[in-house]
Structure 1
Amino acid sequence: MRVLCVAEKPSISKSISQILSGGQFTTSATRSQFIKNYEFDYPQTNSFYTVTCVSGHLTGSDFPESHRKWNSCDAFELFDAPVETHVASDKKAIEDNLLTQARRADMLMIWTDCDREGEHIGLEIVRVCKRAKRNIVVKRARFSAIIAQQIHHAAQHPVELDRAQADAVEARITLDLKVGAAFTRMQTQILQNHFVQLSEARNVVSYGPCQFPTLGFVVQKWNLVKSFVSEPFWHIHMSLRRNTSSSDGEETVFNWRRGHIFDEDAAVSIYDFVLSDPLARVTKVTKKETKKWKPLPLTTFELQKAGSRLLRLAPKKVLDISEKLYQQGFLSYPRTETDQFDPQFDFHSLIRKQVVDPTWGAFANSLEEGGFAVPRKGKNNDKAHPPIHPTAHAGNLVGDERKVYEFITRRFLACCSKDALGFQTTVDVECGGEFFYATGLLVLERNYLEVYPYDKWVGHEIPEFEEGEEFQPSVCELREGKTSKPSLLTEADLVTLMDKNGIGTDATIAQHIQTIIDRDYVIEKMEGSTKYLIPSKLGIGLIEGYNQIGLNKSVSKPQLRRETERSMVQVCEGTKTKAAMLEETIVQYKEMFIIAKREFEKVISPCSAKFFTPSWTFQFGQIHGFETSVKSTCRLVECNRFFFEASIYPTYSTSE
């Protein structure tokens, strides 16, 4: 039997061939300089294999010529316009290779990435190959890592292609095309008519069903920071200096149970009452064992957040690197929502591969000598892939690749270790009718912390106290503080918000963040070692404008996209059809489009701060009692939220 195997990327097809053939294969070139065909016998299934690949999606979707040009139709018509799918012009050579190889094959085996997107690419491959041979048998190879055991198992136990997942992707592609194109054309054409700079530069003000809610999070946090007004508060600071076993006269701070209060008069009154009876009495001493839980197994969301927060790498870069390491056979598939390992997972064979590492090898060896503990179980399981973990030791990586691989490996080893153990002492005291407490920690066993430096757990010793004991505090003061300004949004914060609100998937979140940066809706700003996201004037104008329209389900809020993502999950599960999902979602966007277009002046107003003609003068008319008669070359200018039309006369600079 002749089997045609088609992978998603050139590196995967070569790796599959090397594993299945034991390195004994012949190679032939194709018309595409990046694609090669590998051929060999596979006696385990009594088959002759031809392994090739595509390069991501084969096809693209667009409107027919009657709707494709910007002025060919009203933007609203795009919601009901037909969508054409065709093989992209730069993929014709790949298409020809598939057609040629399919004619010779008895079976087509899909080896694309085992996720929703990979399922759809697999369907694209099937459609091309069935044009060459209608009755070709179609199978799907399922695997999570480029390691021999999984690749051989996938080849010998193929399954069916998951059409429901492919349908969900097709629904998302169609929806994003129609909604994105309709809103983008509408808002771009209106804004170009109002702002000369946009029209002359032919700048597109793009809209995306995911990118606008993502931008909305950034603008919302920016407004919160900008509008912040610090408030004073008062708290009672009480401490005692007493010797401990490790130091002489170390200060033990007792935290006020009230925390702090914002009423100064009330704070002074309470403090005066405390001073009237300043002797502190120990009411309770609690001693107990405590733990610092080891981390959960690693998901794509957590990898992106950690990459931004701990490794100082953009989420997209972290995913790109982990994808490359996966293709090289060093990592499992890096796009997964699962944070629990299967009970039958072979931890020890993977741990043993890390024993040779000069940095964490000794810790890996300690796991093999009794330090192992079954990883914790999270609440998520996508039923497709295990948590992200190393599949081989990679000793020669450098730079960012080394940082990403090291984090994933340390995370896996930490998951396989034991929780850190400590002994905690809490001392409760009462002074003048107010209650305070101090907490001490003795770290007994660091365990997973030995290999996982990204978590901190520092011991802090306090003196010995006995219940009923009384003492005179060394310090008892009423102190004033101020509320701290909230921080701007980081990429890790944004990933968390998108995950929580159902914007995008583990595979697309990083790209949505990169898109709003590429569109100049968001600017990256470094402060120290932290990168913050700041909305541009255009980004602020668009979001504030849409918010002023007051849509029931705003295009700048996550609600509608979250509902769309849930509908796509229902398509994957087979409880909703692709057609039903598209119909009900497009109806909602149509309603919003009609209202947004009718009230788009509310978007123009805040956007006007962004766009100015290079040189202007103005026909002011009467403003606050002043009369002028100078005319201008601009279409629209703003002054103190008033807007003025244009004509032609002498010019002034844009700062005037």
Structure 2
Amino acid sequence: MKILCVAEKPSIAKEVSKILSGGRFQVRNSQNKYIKNYDFKFSFPNQANCDVTMTSVAGHLINIDFPPSFQWGKCVPGKLFDAAVIEKVLKQDIFDNISKEARNSNKLMIWTDCDREGEYIGYEIFKAANKGNRQIEVGDIWRSKFSHLERNHVLRAANNPIKLDLKAVDAVSCRMEIDLRVGASFTRLLTEGLKSKSIIDKGDVASYGTCQFPTLGFVVDRYKRVKNFTPEQFWYIQVDLEKDDVKCNFNWTRGHFFDRLHVMNLYQECLKHKEGKIIKLEQRRTTNWRPLPLTTVELQKDCSSIFKMSAKDALGAAEKLYNRGFLSYPRTETDKFPASFDFKTIFGRQKSDPRWGNHATELFDNGYENPRAGKHDDNAHPPIHPVNYVNINELAADEKKVYEYVVRRFLACCCKDAVGQQTTATLKWGIELFTANGLMVTERNYLDVYPYKKWESSKQLPKFQQGDMVSIKNGVMKDGKTSPPNHMTEAELISLMDINGIGTDATIAEHIEKIVSRSYVVKQKKGKVEYIIPTPLGMGLIESFDKMHFDNISLSKPFLRKKLELSLDQISKGETTKETVLEDMKMLYRQAYSISNQNMVNLVDHCKTVIQANS
């Protein structure tokens, strides 16, 4: 029996070959210098001592496009909604290598990443294999289910193959076709319109994407809120007390008012009293929760805010660590560990590290807490966690930060929550109430291994007793002004995209990178914080589309893309079909295209006005 195994990346093919063969394999070159063919023996279920060839692709093998008669300049963009779609091989040498290796194979086994995109790449691999051997049929494909490259995990995946998920394949195919038709039609329409008024240069492209523009819309909306913000003055009362040489500030429970005269009247009533009374003294145990298990979105957000690393760079570093067997698969929505997860083995592998090894040893020797369980499970991969140990001094700068962060987060998940003692004193001065708080952290627990979260003891309150009469050392009426929101950070943008269903956990970074590369936004550093600011062109595009009336459709808001993502989930679950979703989404976007086309002159003129006003 001859088995052809195909992985999604060359590094995965090499690592899996080492594990399945016990290190005893032969290597053959292919026409592509990065793609190797590994030959060895392995016994699969009910198939002992099989001849195995393991090879790989390098991402997608096949793309979809329009025929030559529908290329740019050869048809009006609106025709692309119903034009034929053809497949094009992206990497012919890799495609041919799979076809050649399949000729003498009895079985095809897919080793692509276990997500929706991986299923589709697996189907592309099938097409290449089927071209070389028509006896290989899609229903007979073995599909390995794995999330990291630990030896026993890979062996279990080899010995328990599943079927290729054709519903997931349909979902990706649907998304690709919608993105092609909508993106190409609107991009051509926009580009030609903007060039006609010299808003963009002759060689430039003003691209539109169903994720790209809602992402840009979030940035523009925040920018406008900051720009249009008008500060308002407010007034409040603050009380300073001192007892036993300990000073503390009491804050007014009413907060503040925008009516100066009203606050002045209340303050005048307070001034009639020289003393205040501690009417309530509360002490309670308070908890600072350890973090939830790590998802892709949280990884990108934290790396952005903690290390000032772009989402693209953070995910790229995590993928390199995964490909080398150090981390689990970094594209996951799951924030709960399965009941069968082997925590102690992971602790044991981290015990030798001088930075966090003592914490791993403590958990290994003296027990650990079961991690908190979140509400999300993509039923494909566990949360991101360390798999094998590596000395971080051997890693590149970004990989070092990401690996240490993932390890410390994993260990923190298995520690106890931090505990503190919260004291709240309530002061009555006249008829007004004021409160002061003090915090004593009594058990740091997870905070000791997780330095990215700060929770410190605050200045302690004086030793008040309930019923104490205290002299008012300083009771003042103060004023302030409301502050504008900050501009958008990348971490905030990732959160907004995730909440609104713009892209997936795996593609969020790509969409942000796209609006940067198109010069729709720029990144600007203010102090230690980097913000994302729209360019005049980005502002002009969003404001121009917002000015149109699309009958409950918006091209700059997240609703249409969120509807598509929900529909793709329904395809994956078998609740609807690819054909139904395609027709539904094409109808909505075709309607928006028609309105945009009819109003293109007004759109371009308004865009130019906005650009000039913001330049």
TM-score, with length taken from structure 1: 0.90
Q: Please report how far the alpha carbon of residue 499 of structure 1 lies from its aligned counterpart in structure 2 after TM superposition.
A: 0.6
**2:272 alignment partner in structure 1:** 276
Residues 212-611 of structure 1: pairs in structure 2 closer than 5 A: 212-243=213-244, 249-370=245-366, 372-395=368-391, 396-460=394-458, 461-551=460-550, 552-609=552-609
2:158 pairs with 1:155: yes
Q: 1:84 aligns with which of 76, 83, 86?
A: 86
Q: Distance in 2 between matches of 1:550 and 1:325?
A: 48
Q: Secondary structure at the match of 1:202?
A: coil
**2:116 alignment partner in structure 1:** 116
Q: Secondary structure at the match of 2:3?
A: strand
**1:66 alignment partner in structure 2:** 69
Q: Distance in 2 between matches of 1:42 and 1:215?
A: 51
Q: Distance in 1 between matches of 2:290 and 2:274?
A: 42
Q: 1:179 aligns with which of 182, 198, 212?
A: 182
Q: Is the 8 A contact 2:96 2:128 kept in 1?
A: no
Q: Is the 8 A contact 1:235 1:259 kept in 2?
A: yes
Residue identity matched to 1:340 = K
Q: Distance in 2 between matches of 1:575 and 1:60?
A: 26
Q: Distance in 1 between matches of 2:472 and 2:131?
A: 86
Residue identity matched to 1:33 = K
Q: Distance in 2 between matches of 1:350 and 1:317?
A: 26
Q: Secondary structure at the match of 1:441?
A: strand
Q: Secondary structure at the match of 1:417?
A: coil
Number of aligned residues: 605
Residue identity matched to 2:297 = F
Q: Secondary structure at the match of 2:141?
A: strand
**2:94 alignment partner in structure 1:** 94
Q: Is the 8 A contact 2:539 2:610 kept in 1?
A: no
Q: Secondary structure at the match of 1:377?
A: coil
Q: Is the 8 A contact 2:103 2:133 kept in 1?
A: yes
C-alpha change, 1:349 and 1:541, in structure 2 (3 Å) is: same
Q: Please report how far the alpha carbon of residue 317 of structure 1 lies from its aligned counterpart in structure 2 after TM superposition.
A: 0.5
Q: Distance in 2 between matches of 1:250 and 1:606?
A: 62
Q: Please report how far the alpha carbon of residue 59 of structure 1 lies from its aligned counterpart in structure 2 after TM superposition.
A: 0.5
Q: Distance in 2 between matches of 1:298 and 1:256?
A: 39
Residue identity matched to 2:227 = K
**1:48 alignment partner in structure 2:** 51
Give CA deviations for 1:11-57 in whole Å, capped at 9, x if unaligned: 00000001111111000001111100001111355112100001100
2:47 pairs with 1:33: no
C-alpha change, 1:95 and 1:398, in structure 2 (3 Å) is: closer
Structure 2: stretches of 5+ with no match in the other structure: none
Q: Distance in 2 between matches of 1:92 and 1:212?
A: 33
C-alpha change, 1:382 and 1:237, in structure 2 (3 Å) is: same
Q: Distance in 1 between matches of 2:209 and 2:77?
A: 15
Q: Please report how far the alpha carbon of residue 609 of structure 1 lies from its aligned counterpart in structure 2 after TM superposition.
A: 4.5
Q: Secondary structure at the match of 1:104?
A: coil
2:110 pairs with 1:129: no
- Per mean C-alpha deviation after superposition, the further-off stretch among 591-600 and 25-34 is 591-600
Residue identity matched to 1:21 = S
Q: Distance in 1 between matches of 2:202 and 2:566?
A: 39
**1:618 alignment partner in structure 2:** none
Q: Secondary structure at the match of 1:252?
A: strand
Q: Is the 8 A contact 1:232 1:481 kept in 2?
A: yes
Give CA deviations for 1:253-297 in whole Å, capped at 9, x if unaligned: 111111111111111111111111242111111111111000000
Q: Distance in 1 between matches of 2:610 and 2:559?
A: 28
Residue identity matched to 1:315 = A
Q: Please report how far the alpha carbon of residue 398 of structure 1 lies from its aligned counterpart in structure 2 after TM superposition.
A: 4.1
Residue identity matched to 2:63 = G
Q: Is the 8 A contact 1:298 1:411 kept in 2?
A: yes
Q: Please report how far the alpha carbon of residue 600 of structure 1 lies from its aligned counterpart in structure 2 after TM superposition.
A: 2.5
Q: Please report how far the alpha carbon of residue 397 of structure 1 lies from its aligned counterpart in structure 2 after TM superposition.
A: 2.1
Q: Secondary structure at the match of 2:576?
A: coil
Q: Secondary structure at the match of 1:201?
A: coil
Q: Distance in 2 between matches of 1:380 and 1:284?
A: 41
Residue identity matched to 1:81 = A
Q: Secondary structure at the match of 1:310?
A: helix
Q: Distance in 2 between matches of 1:607 and 1:62?
A: 30
Q: Distance in 2 between matches of 1:36 and 1:397?
A: 25
Q: Please report how far the alpha carbon of residue 371 of structure 1 lies from its aligned counterpart in structure 2 after TM superposition.
A: 5.1
Q: Distance in 2 between matches of 1:554 and 1:506?
A: 23
Q: Secondary structure at the match of 2:525?
A: strand
Q: 1:141 aligns with which of 138, 141, 144?
A: 144
TM superposition outliers: structure 1 runs of 4+ over 3 Å: none
Give CA deviations for 1:191-232 in whole Å, capped at 9, x if unaligned: 22222x63x523211100100000000000000010111111
Q: Is the 8 A contact 1:548 1:602 kept in 2?
A: no
Residue identity matched to 2:412 = A
Q: Is the 8 A contact 1:371 1:418 kept in 2?
A: no
C-alpha change, 1:64 and 1:458, in structure 2 (3 Å) is: same
Structure 1: stretches of 5+ with no match in the other structure: 244-248, 612-637, 642-654
Q: Is the 8 A contact 1:109 1:138 kept in 2?
A: yes
Q: Distance in 2 between matches of 1:133 and 1:545?
A: 53
Larger Rg: 1
Q: Distance in 2 between matches of 1:563 and 1:129?
A: 35
Residue identity matched to 2:532 = L
Q: Please report how far the alpha carbon of residue 449 of structure 1 lies from its aligned counterpart in structure 2 after TM superposition.
A: 0.1
Q: Secondary structure at the match of 2:419?
A: strand
2:9 pairs with 1:13: no
Q: Secondary structure at the match of 1:155?
A: helix
Q: Distance in 1 between matches of 2:486 and 2:448?
A: 31
Q: Please report how far the alpha carbon of residue 394 of structure 1 lies from its aligned counterpart in structure 2 after TM superposition.
A: 1.3
Identity of aligned residues (%): 45
Residue identity matched to 1:279 = E
Q: Is the 8 A contact 2:223 2:534 kept in 1?
A: yes
Q: Distance in 2 between matches of 1:83 and 1:280?
A: 79
Q: Please report how far the alpha carbon of residue 251 of structure 1 lies from its aligned counterpart in structure 2 after TM superposition.
A: 2.1
Q: Is the 8 A contact 2:109 2:141 kept in 1?
A: yes
Q: Secondary structure at the match of 2:555?
A: coil
**1:648 alignment partner in structure 2:** none
Residue identity matched to 1:4 = L
Q: Distance in 1 between matches of 2:452 and 2:606?
A: 43
Q: Distance in 1 between matches of 2:524 and 2:549?
A: 31
- Per mean C-alpha deviation after superposition, the further-off stretch among 18-27 and 391-400 is 391-400
Q: Is the 8 A contact 1:546 1:602 kept in 2?
A: no
